[in-house]
Amino acid sequence: MNNAVAGFSKLSKKEKINWIAKEYFSTPEEALTIIRNYWNSDEKLQQLHDEFIENTITNLYIPLGVAPNFLINGNYKTIPMAIEESSVVAAASKAAKFWSTRGGFKTTIINTEKIGQVHFNFNGDAEKLQSFFQEIKPKFFTETQSITKNMQERGGGILDIQLKDKRNLLENYFQLHAAFETKDSMGANFINSCLEQFASTLKEQFEDSHLFSPDDKLEVIMSILSNYVPHCLVRAEVSCPIEDLQEKHIPNPQKFAERFVQAVQIAEIEPFRAVTHNKGIMNGVDAVVLATGNDFRAIEAGVHAYASKNGQYASLSHAKIENGIFTFWLEIPLALGTVGGLTSLHPLVKLCLEILQKPSATELMEITAVAGLAQNFAALRSLTTTGIQEGHMKMHLNNIINQFEATEEERHLIKTHFKKTTVTHSAVVEFIENLRK
């Protein structure tokens, strides 16, 4: 029976680790060895990592790879990707190479607006509240000037504030719905600071107003940015004449294009397929988001909400054949930053941004969307030609070999055998067992 622990956060790192090892492991020394093996030998660097979060005991490594040959708007990019799943980087690289000889990827920033809200209850005359809001609206801007000054100098700031009546959904519920431009920062702290000041201004002005009777009540519930950013959108696309799609695995480009378009159409109308389809897109998106120190949970939540914007969860990507031209594209909401947060703290994040040639936030939106589209293209190409497992399982072979702690000699024999044999987990296990008999 495990025991509760009091004051865990106040323990030293060594004390925390010792408690974990003794409490949860029959051989504490083995656990301690594993934990210490993943510490960075540079004490200063390890301390930096320790201070990113609370109660740190060690580092969990995720491979950082690169996918080269991405031709984006006429310029070549090598895209860093942090991900643990086999075949993702290989698939992205393959798609990049394919499209580099067919015009490359084209991107467009549709908008960069971000959203924050003050949620509050009001029990009283809604028309009076609307008049009150219009009267005090300028104060929301003036009383946040100390917060917005630096952002305004960079071309950002508060774009607009609206009063929204949501009583049809929840009794007495209203919002201050605000739009922001945060330039190269993701802007979460900036937006939340503005919103909290909005809330203070709203309460103070309400208390001083003569418009309301003593029976009218206003109560702020919370002030918080939204990770749903349907107006912070980027479009990425590829297109070429159908005959240019031809290659080794695509002997009949017309048939391939038709099957590909139908595969996308299935994801547009079938949620069970759409979820897996979009997960493939996010394999590319999340890998870049993580490598560049951005918040992939926020991106995931916003993207999947956007995929449901028409009332049913659907594909983020689309495809068509028109006048002999094959076109494949996606529009995706991405609130990303290249300054602030981990971007200036994590050495590998800084390295990844250097590899990307120090992009602006909008450039990073474009690169990330392209990675998602490339990943989706690679998956759909496999699904509609050779099948998804052939390439994936060959990349997964290393994981199976490592699971069985194969020697160098065994590794060589296994890889040689499966060059011409279908890779399945059971087939690899059987081959290893026969080797060892």
Task: Break the chain into its structural domains and give their ranges.
Answer: 64-111+232-386, 114-226, 392-435
Instruction: Provide CB contacts within 8 A for 253, sequence distance 6+.
Output: 242, 243, 244, 245, 246
Instruction: Out of 295, 363, 366, 396, pick the active-site residue.
Output: 295
Residue 295 bears catalytic tag: yes
* pLDDT given at position 165: 98
Under the banding of pLDDT at 50, 70 and 90, the label for residue 187 is: very high
pLDDT tens per residue across span 214-235 = 999 999 999 999 999 999 999 9
Three-state DSSP class for residue 120: strand
Instruction: Out of 13, 49, 50, 85, pick the active-site residue.
Output: 85
Percent of the chain with pLDDT over 70: 97
* pLDDT given at position 51: 93
Instruction: Provide CB contacts within 8 A for 132, sequence distance 6+.
Output: 205, 206, 209, 211, 212
Asked whether residue 395 carries a pLDDT value surpassing 80, the answer given is no
Under the banding of pLDDT at 50, 70 and 90, the label for residue 403 is: confident
Under the banding of pLDDT at 50, 70 and 90, the label for residue 280 is: very high
* pLDDT given at position 388: 56
pLDDT tens per residue across span 336-387 = 999 988 888 999 999 999 999 999 999 999 999 999 999 999 999 999 997 6
* Helical packing angle, 271-291 and 361-383, nearest 10°: 140
- Determine the length of the chain: 437
Q: What is the CATH number of domain 114-226?
A: 3.30.70.420
Q: Are 413 and 436 in contact (CB under 8 A)?
A: no
Q: What is the rounded radius of gyration, in angstroms, for the C-alpha atoms of the chain?
A: 27
Nearest to 177 by CA among 114, 103, 123, 126: 114
| Range of weakest confidence among 103-117, 223-237, 420-434 | 420-434
Instruction: Beginning with the edge strand found earlier in the chain, give each strand of the sheet holding 317-322 in spatial order.
Output: 106-109, 233-241, 325-333, 317-322
Q: Is domain 64-111+232-386 in CATH 3.90.770.10, yes or no?
A: yes
Query: Which residues on adjacent β-strands are paired with residue 339?
Result: 185
Under the banding of pLDDT at 50, 70 and 90, the label for residue 402 is: confident
Instruction: Out of 94, 119, 183, 392, pick the active-site residue.
Output: 392
Mean of the per-residue pLDDT values for the chain?
A: 94
* pLDDT given at position 111: 97
Distance of CA 217 to the CA centre of its chain: 40
* pLDDT given at position 408: 84
Nearest to 109 by CA among 368, 395, 414: 368
**Reported pTM:** 0.88
* pLDDT given at position 436: 81
Instruction: Out of 106, 279, 318, 415, pick the active-site residue.
Output: 279
Residue 160 bears catalytic tag: no
* pLDDT given at position 391: 55
DSSP H stretches of helix in 84-220: 88-100, 126-142, 145-153, 188-208
* pLDDT given at position 95: 98
| Range of weakest confidence among 190-194, 304-308, 408-412 | 408-412
Residue 425 bears catalytic tag: no
Residue 183 bears catalytic tag: no
DSSP H stretches of helix in 158-311: 188-208, 253-269, 271-291, 296-307
Three-state DSSP class for residue 151: helix
Under the banding of pLDDT at 50, 70 and 90, the label for residue 309 is: very high
Asked whether residue 207 carries a pLDDT value surpassing 70, the answer given is yes
| Range of weakest confidence among 112-121, 298-307, 339-348 | 339-348
DSSP 10: G
Under the banding of pLDDT at 50, 70 and 90, the label for residue 206 is: very high
Asked whether residue 389 carries a pLDDT value surpassing 80, the answer given is no
